[in-house]
Amino acid sequence: MPVTDALTRHLKARHKFSVVDRLECLGSPASDRSFDVFNPSTGELLARLPDMGREATKAAIDKAHAAQSEWAALTARDRSDALWRWHQLIVQHTDDLSAILTAEMGKPLAEARSEISHAAAYLQWYAEEANRIYGETISAPSTDRRMLVIKQPIGVVGTITPWNFPASMVARKISPALAAGCTIVLKPAEQTPLVAGAMFLLAEEAGFPRGVVNLIYAAEGNDVGLELCTNPKVRKISFTGSTEVGRLLMRQCAEQIKKLGLELGGNAPFIVFDDADVDAAVDGAIQAKFRNAGQTCVSANRIYVQTKVHEEFVEKFVTRVRKLAVGDGFSSHAAIGPLIDSNAMKKVEAHIADALAKGGVVQCGGQRLKNGATFFEPTVLTNTSSNMRIAHEEIFGPVAPIICFEDADQVIREANDTIYGLAAYFYASNLKRVWRVSEALEYGMVGINTGRMSSEAAPFGGIKQSGIGREGSRHGLDDYLEMKYICMGGI
């Protein structure tokens, strides 16, 4: 079945994107099982897609494997040109891709447009970076030897992308892999597979050779992940999602010592010191907390505010949060879309109930909207403390707990007291403090006086149980390259 009218009425190039289940062009065989994709704002059915299982995954891996050596043998310039063409097509089709994204994921259209532009930026960045893969010569310790290092593509890469950024995460993983000379098999999240399908149609138009990019549509619970992790033709797995699933994939990859790139959960502290510009901190907190309705792994999870500026911050922050309109992502006033599903809603409610039972106070919000969908009011909680679940678990929703603190050393200890280490933010102006705090925070990324830091030019990734490896920047390419040391003797 093609995508439904509920989706095509938003599209300009109706013909092109009403065939996102045209699998042959996406490099994968069809299936007789299916699964449905819904709009989380309205509950409307958007598409019925083939649920491709383990056999189809195996076939897609075979295609990627067969295409691997030819793709790797092209010049870097040829791979770069294909990425450029794909970049340009994505830019040209921004309206349609954003509409598909909003329909299946729910985020406001302006955020969807910004995500598509971020996705295009990754393709552009790695189209450029493809031409800059360098090796190394080493001064040999004896005169009769020459030593050098070359970099080669790792091989077939299995990628699994999440529902919260269903376009930019596809680009963030695939573009460095393709630039490095790897071929890929991608499984997008079952809630949001359509924008990935549309991007793959554009990849076909960009002229990637057959078998280089392969898409697997699959509902949860099938064995696609297992096949990707255990098939010896796949040499690397790149996954963005929960720490729990990351652990499972690691276990599945252990047998073959398969390389893994993992971008997992977070528990970002957002610290406002008493020398901060409070208005700027409020702006940053709105962005770090409420972008994508709080459904990002770098969302501010715990907002720590120093005593001297606590009252001013809370008052200004709550005033701003009350103005955030919740609604269908296609409506022009909506700043916050729905949560992805009813489980997400239940988790947010459980976090709030736990905080209230332990003395937390609701300053605004705190309830689901009574319209039957998964909309939740943007919420601010005060009087929160580190013994609450929200201080330790990823909220993944529009709930901002504010914790008052007095002492700078104590707040750093609390900020670091977590299994996660993805992103941290702080606002301060004293330079000595800025350096000391950025070095003391045990996180892969630290934002100083900003609530947003994701960029194609920078290495995105975490430490501790937030992941392994980096995506974006020149470092993102290294994850898809093997180093080979070559030694010539008898000279």
Coil, strand or helix at 284: helix
123, 153 Cβ separation under 8 angstroms:
no
User: 85: helix, coil or strand?
Assistant: helix
Question: Could you tell me if residue 43 is left (phi over 0), alpha (psi between -120 and 50 degrees) or otherwise beta?
Answer: left
165 binds ligand SIN (CB under 6 A): yes
In terms of Cβ atoms closer than 10 Å to its own Cβ (0-12, 13-18, 19+), residue 280 is: middle
| Minimal distance, residue 324 CB to ligand SIN, in Å | 19
- Binding to ligand SIN, residues 439-468 (CB under 6 A): 454
- Least Å distance, CB 437 to ligand SIN, is 21
Q: Note whether 375 binds ligand SIN by CB under 6 A.
A: no
Q: Which is nearer to ligand SIN, 243 or 454 (CB)?
A: 454
Q: Determine whether 297 is an active site residue.
A: yes
Interface with ligand SIN includes 39 (CB under 6 A)?
A: no
Token pair in block for residue 70: 């030819």
- DSSP, collapsed to helix, strand or coil, labels residue 220 as coil
The one among 240, 267, 382, 466 contacting ligand SIN by CB under 6 A: 240
Between the CA of residue 174 and those of 13, 219, 259, what are the distances in Å? 24, 21, 16
In 3-state terms the chain splits into helix, strand, coil percentages (rounded to 5) of 40, 20, 35
Contact 192, 268 (CB under 8 A): no
Binding mask 111-150 for ligand SIN (x = CB under 6 A): ----------------------------------------
Residue 473 binds to ligand SIN (criterion: CB under 6 A):
no
* Position of minimal CB gap to ligand SIN: 454
Nearest approach, Cβ of residue 165 and ligand SIN (Å): 5
Helices (H), ranges, 291-341 = 307-322
Annotated active-site residue in 182, 229, 253, 297: 297
Nearest to 126 by CA among 184, 179, 186, 81: 179
Picking from 224, 172, 230, 231, the residue whose alpha carbon sits closest to that of residue 196 is 172
102, 164, 222, 267: which one binds ligand SIN (CB under 6 A): 164
Number of residues in contact with ligand SIN under rule CB under 6 A: 8
**Which residue, 231 or 240, is less far from ligand SIN as judged by CB?**
240
Euclidean distance between CA atoms 453 and 260, whole angstroms: 24
C-alpha 457/C-alpha 469 separation (Å) is 15
* Nearest distance in Å: CB 3, ligand SIN: 26
Choice between 167 and 326, CB closer to ligand SIN: 167
**Residue 405, both tokens:** 């603190």
What mask, x for binding ligand SIN by CB under 6 A, covers residues 191 to 230? ----------------------------------------
What mask, x for binding ligand SIN by CB under 6 A, covers residues 268 to 307? ----------------------------xxx---------
The residue ranges that bind ligand SIN (CB under 6 A) are 164-165, 240, 263, 296-298, 454
- Catalytic (active-site) positions: 263, 297
